[in-house]
Amino acid sequence: MPTSPDDLLARLAALGIATTTHSHPPLHTVEDSKALRGALPGGHCKNLFLKDKKDQLWLVVALEDARIDLKRLDKAIGSARLSFASAERLWDCLGIRPGSVSPLAIVNDTQGRVKVVLQEAMMAHDLLNYHPLINDRTTAIQRDDLLRFLRACGHEPSIVAFGWPEDAA
């Protein structure tokens, strides 16, 4: 059984990680988030659950406005050709549903099947915002605490430059 949002927040607290969680209507897209978040401070992010042609799984986390070209991302992160993984695989590996993807879901990847990639530009923000396993809440966490949490879950994230400014629409 996957970790519940409350259990996730308790685990963060047990690690000495302070967070602030806000409740809101379910958010399914970046556009939903922009419309409903109000003035929540910090970097707001999007998350992609991907697989490559060698069946390696990737959780790619970036600022919400980053333009991510999967044809270029594979080279930046050292993967084979990338595509979106299925909702079934998302549930099986991270215990979450589409619309709730978040680096905090790595708590459920106890077998280490997913490689975590964090956008370098996102990591310039001190405070970052993610869903705590469900898309009707947003949890703010300090950048360094996110890294500490991922490592405590047995995942060493890669910090990579992608979402290139010259790609901005």
**Which residue range is the domain that position 33 belongs to?**
5-167
Q: What is the DSSP string of 31-97?
A: HHHHHH-TT--SEEEEEEEEEETT--EEEEEEETT----HHHHHHHHT-SSEEEPPHHHHHHHHS--
pLDDT band at 36 (very low <50, low <70, confident <90, very high): low
Whether 66 shows a pLDDT value over 70: the answer reads yes
52 close to 138: Cβ distance less than 8 angstroms: no
Q: Rounded mean pLDDT of the chain?
A: 92
109-151 pLDDT, tens digit per residue, is 999 999 999 999 999 999 999 999 999 999 999 999 999 999 9
What are 124's two structure tokens? Answer: 């310039």
Looking at mean pLDDT, say which of 35-39, 69-73, 89-93 comes out highest: 89-93
Q: How many structural domains does the chain have?
A: 1
Q: Which two tokens stand for residue 96?
A: 């979450």
> CATH code at 17?
3.90.960.10
d(CA 101, CA 47): 6
Residue 164: predicted pLDDT: 61
Q: How confident is the model at residue 26 (pLDDT cuts 50, 70, 90)?
A: confident
Does 35 have pLDDT greater than 90? no
Question: Which residues neighbour 23 within 8 Å (Cβ) at sequence distance 6 or greater?
Answer: 136, 137
Question: What is the structure's pLDDT at 167?
Answer: 46
pLDDT tens digit sequence for 45-56: 999 999 999 999
